[in-house]
């Protein structure tokens, strides 16, 4: 009996803290868009930073306000080195001025949270081909998932808006990625 207790204790200790690492799910190529201030924004500026992305539009009456509220919570739950990027799926209407007003409405820290608009082809390729969650120019229908990207520009995880505890999961996984060496 004593051996069984020792064996079970050992097995439980071995399992502690050995969470499965996040998979590599794709690479984010460099891109150039406009931020909420009308300035050029290059994807390469995120190199060396863990970041979270989503796709929204400012006139959305559906899930976008909830997604943006969650991003605001992610901003609060992560340290300032974690970037946040909200890509527009409606670049015809989401001008830099519209994005700036939207960001202000959510008290976004725009030193680390970027609201991006620009060329439909670039946004469409990012949404559909890179992140595999959203089309641009195909109406304003889009995914309600968040994407976690590591410091080397690799997609590491997806989280649904309806997933329970999504903010804490993203914050925990972002912190783990910051500690990764490779």
Q: In which residue are the tokens 């972002």 written?
A: 174
What's 169's DSSP letter?
H
pLDDT in tens, 50-71: 999 999 999 988 888 999 999 9
Give dist(CA 32, CA 156) in Å, integer.
22
Predicted confidence band of residue 7 (pLDDT cuts 50, 70, 90): very low
Predicted confidence band of residue 11 (pLDDT cuts 50, 70, 90): very low
The predicted model gives 97-124 an average pLDDT of 95
Give dist(CA 139, CA 24) in Å, integer.
30
CATH 3.40.50.410 describes domain 22-179: no
User: How much is the pTM?
Assistant: 0.85
How many CB atoms within 10 Å of residue 154?
A: 16
3-class state of residue 63 by DSSP: coil
137 near 124, Cβ under 8 Å?
A: yes
Where in the chain are the domains? 22-179
Q: Which of 13, 47, 53, 18 is nearest to 144 (CA)?
A: 53
Q: In which residue are the tokens 């150039």 written?
A: 32
Give dist(CA 159, CA 57) in Å, integer.
19
Higher pLDDT, 141 or 119: 119
Predicted confidence band of residue 139 (pLDDT cuts 50, 70, 90): low
């Amino acid at each position: 009996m004593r051996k069984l207790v020792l064996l079970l204790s050992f097995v439980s200790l071995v399992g502690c803290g050995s969470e499965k690492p996040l998979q590599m799910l794709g690479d984010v190529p460099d891109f150039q868009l406009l931020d909420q201030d009308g300035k050029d924004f290059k994807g390469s500026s995120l190199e060396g930073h863990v970041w979270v992305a989503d796709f929204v539009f400012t006139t959305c009456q559906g899930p976008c306000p909830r997604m943006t509220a969650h991003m605001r919570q992610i901003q609060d739950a992560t340290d300032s080195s974690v970037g946040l990027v909200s890509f527009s799926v409606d670049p015809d209407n989401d001008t830099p001025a519209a994005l700036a007003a939207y960001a202000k409405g959510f008290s976004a820290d725009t030193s680390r949270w970027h609201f991006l608009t620009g060329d439909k082809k670039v946004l469409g390729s990012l949404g559909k081909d890179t992140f595999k969650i959203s089309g641009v120019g195909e109406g304003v229908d889009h995914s309600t998932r968040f994407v976690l990207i590591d410091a080397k520009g690799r997609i590491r995880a997806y989280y649904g808006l309806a997933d329970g505890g999504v903010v804490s999961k993203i914050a925990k996984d972002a912190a783990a990625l910051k500690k990764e060496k490779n």
